[in-house]
Structure 1
Amino acid sequence: MPLVSGHAVIAECTSRNLVAGAFNTTNLETTMGIVRAVERVGVPTFIQCAPTNAVLSGFEYIHDLVSRRLADCEVPVALHLDHGKSIRAVEDALAARFTSIMIDASEEPYEENVATSARARELCGPDIALEAELGSIGGKEDEVGADLADATDPAQVAAFVDAVGCDMLAVSVGNVHGHAPDARIDFARLEEVRRESPVPLVIHGGSGLPAEQLARLHEFGVVKVNVASDLRNAMIRTFGEAWVANPDEVSLIRVSTHAVAAVADVVERRIRMFNPSAK
């Protein structure tokens, strides 16, 4: 089916008590692996790309690549801008026909975060879902993310969402960007945030969180969990292992096919971790 709005993914997930994975892509193999897993499990999903990921190809190429692969997919999928750090990034993604947007002004002072995020809301209009971030998530992935975490203050949540008009709220509750095996969700803070938020929540840094924590997120109003490092590691590892096994390997298609399968396996495992009741 054609790309759907982020609103459609949010609505279906909330109605079915599901958590959408949000998986970063930069190329053909990763995209094919993500969609293969989505087709296996049948859970609505975000495929996303950050400005740092689009340096090589541009957003238009990512849109064309993803939308072409989804033509035969029956599961709703939205194409999401991940970590739009500027209004220009939002404008570029919208021009490339992305169907869901994240504005990340979380490293700015609160009032500037509100102003920048509200401007993104104006640009998106009513048809494009908007994710904003309150509190800075620690760690870095492709130079995206704050060096130090600044936990989301539950007391600011309701006013922030009201002022911005966002459809999803990314929060900092112990989650960390990149592969951070020691990261742990502060469920007490997450519950406080959930009680104050009129919109569903987003957890970044899904690659580093343990399975037992990922399986609980649906209980706390989380509708979207970002995963990037696990996918990239699967692809790079596949090519690295192929070279170690045979430094004279020349069959790019064989290694690429293995990489697609490796990415698909990672994505499927993650979706099932987020949704332990999914068949």
Structure 2
Amino acid sequence: MPLVNGFKLIDIVQERNVVAGAFNTTDLITTMGILSAVEKSKVPAFIQIAPTNVSLSGYGYIADMVKRYTANMETPVALHLDHGKTFESVKQAARAGFTSLMTDNAKYDYEENILHTAEAVRFAEGYGIPVEAELGAIAGKEDDDVTEGNAKTDPDQVVDFVQRTGVDLLAIAVGNVHGLNLDPNIDFPLLEKIEAVCPVPLVLHGASGIPDDQIAQMVNYGVVKINVASDLRNAYIKAVGQDYNDDPHRFDLIDVTLDAKKAVADVVYQKIQMMNQNSTSKVY
């Protein structure tokens, strides 16, 4: 199946009552590992990359790799820009062929966040692709601008923010964090308040460190997209490191990279199963 528009993927996810994993890539090996696991699972997914990780390849190479691989898949996949912190990154991703975008303006105050987010939404309309935005700052390695005032999403701001920006997906801060070395704990009463008023689907970032039993509940709270990055990178590095420890003199790079690809695929498949264990739809 060719790469699909993000709007289409969201529709499929909601129709099937499943959660789409959103898995961060960096290179060919990670991309192939992610997509092979998605195809095995038969659950629609996002593959994504943040500007902080695009320096290795550029947006065009990532888009080309994903388009080539997904052309022979049966499971729908959308290509998403993760944490586009500048308008330029949003424009570059859209022009490269990404089918979904995130504009991350959480570092700004509320009114300025609305201003920059609305600008990205207007631009994306020309490409017919959805835009995700962040309300409340998610702690960890992607955001260094978390304060007591913005550490969690304010449910009283949600409707106003969505209506004034026109965003299609809302990433929320409800105790989730980026990375593996922090202590996330989902505030379910807050999540419930947000879901009750939010007019668009929700996104959960930082799933690598959140307990599995909490992630499994997201399908019941209007969450359609769950981001996973650190666990994949950690699996990749561990696989390569283990191969080196087993034989520091080896030179068969193809076998080492195949081990890394399998390590990434195993984590992705496990995450998809865990996200959807409470889904009413059949998950393979």
In the other structure, the counterpart of 2:177 is: 176
Distance 1:274 1:165 in 2: 28
Q: How does 1:31-180 map to 2 (within 5 A)?
A: 31-125=31-125, 127-140=128-141, 144-146=142-144, 148=146, 150-180=151-181
Paired residue total: 276
TM norm structure 2: 0.95
Q: Does 1:230 align with 2:234?
A: no
Moved over 6 A (4+): none
Distance 2:211 2:56 in 1: 32
- For 2:244, give the aligned amino acid: W
Q: Percent identity?
A: 52
Distance 2:17 2:186 in 1: 20
- For 1:156, give the aligned amino acid: Q
Tell me, yes or no, if the aligned pair for 1:63 and 1:98 is still in contact at 8 Å.
Answer: yes
CA displacement at 1:180 relative to structure 2: 4.0
Tell me, yes or no, if the aligned pair for 2:107 and 2:145 is still in contact at 8 Å.
Answer: no
Q: Does 1:2 align with 2:6?
A: no
- For 1:194, give the aligned amino acid: E
Q: Structure 1 unaligned runs (5+)?
A: none
In the other structure, the counterpart of 1:245 is: 246
- What RMSD over aligned residues (CA atoms) do the two structures have, in Å? 1.1
CA displacement at 1:23 relative to structure 2: 0.3
Q: Does 1:203 align with 2:207?
A: no
CA deviation vs aligned residue, 1:213-239 (integer Å, no higher than 9, x gap): 010001100000000000000111111
Q: Structure 2 unaligned runs (5+)?
A: none
Task: Single out whichever of 145-154 and 120-129 deviates more from structure 2.
Answer: 145-154
CA displacement at 1:249 relative to structure 2: 1.1
Q: How does 1:11-50 map to 2 (within 5 A)?
A: 11-50=11-50
- For 2:190, give the aligned amino acid: R
- For 2:98, give the aligned amino acid: F
Distance 2:158 2:187 in 1: 16
Distance 1:131 1:16 in 2: 21
CA displacement at 1:179 relative to structure 2: 1.2
Q: Secondary structure at the match of 2:250?
A: coil
CA displacement at 1:246 relative to structure 2: 0.7
